[in-house]
Structure 1
Amino acid sequence: MHPIDRLAATIDARKSADPDTSWTAKLLSKGPEKAAEKFGEEAVEAIIACVKNDRENLTNEAADVIYHLAVMLAARDVAMSDVMDELTRREGTSGIAEKAAR
C-alpha cells in the first residue's frame, strides 16, 4: 500500500476518534474551515522554506502540507482516491492544454 493510501485510511479511521486523543480528530471536529486554515498555514511554511532554500525544512513542511491536504479533503468527504484518479486522468496531457479545457 502506498504511503498516501495509508495516510488517507488513517485519517478516515480517525474521523470517529476522540478529539482529546487524536490531532486528526481534533482538526476534523473543528470543521472544514479549520482544516483549510491549517492547510494554508502549512503551505505558507513550505513556501518560506523553499524561498530560503532550506531543503530539510522544505521536506518536513511538504509532509505537513500533504497531511493537512488529506485532512482537508476528508473534512469535505473527498476521497484521496478521487484525487489520484484525477491525476491519472491528466497524465500525458499538457498543463497548458488541460487549463485551456477547463
Structure 2
Amino acid sequence: MQQNRLFDDFARLMTDAAGAAQGVRREAETMVKAQIERMLRDMDVATREEVEVLRDLVASLRAQNDALAARVAALEAKPSEAKPSEAKPSEKPASAKARGAASGGTATA
C-alpha cells in the first residue's frame, strides 16, 4: 500500500506541476501579446478596418479612373469637326485695313 500512496502523491505532484506550467504559459502569452500590441500601437500600424476601407476606396477610384480613361479614348477617337467660328488664329480672315495694305490701296475703316 505504501507504493500505491507514493504513486498517488507522484501523480498529484505531476498534475499540479502541469497545471502550474499551463498557468505560467498563459501568463507568458498574455505578457508577450500585450508587449506586441504596445509595439504595434507605437509603430502607428494601420488596423484591419482601416486597410479594408482603403482597399474599397482604391477599388472605387480605379473603376472611376478606368471609366474616365475610356471616355477620353472615345473622345479622342472622334474625328475633330472644326466649327467655322472655331477657326485657328492663323486662319482668321484679314481685317479690311490689312487687306487694303496688302493690295496696295488705302483702306477706310
Which of 1 and 2 has higher RCO (CA within 8 Å, sep 6+)?
1
The TM-score bracket by the shorter chain reads: under 0.3
Q: Which has the larger radius of gyration?
A: 2
TM-score normalized by the length of structure 1: 0.26
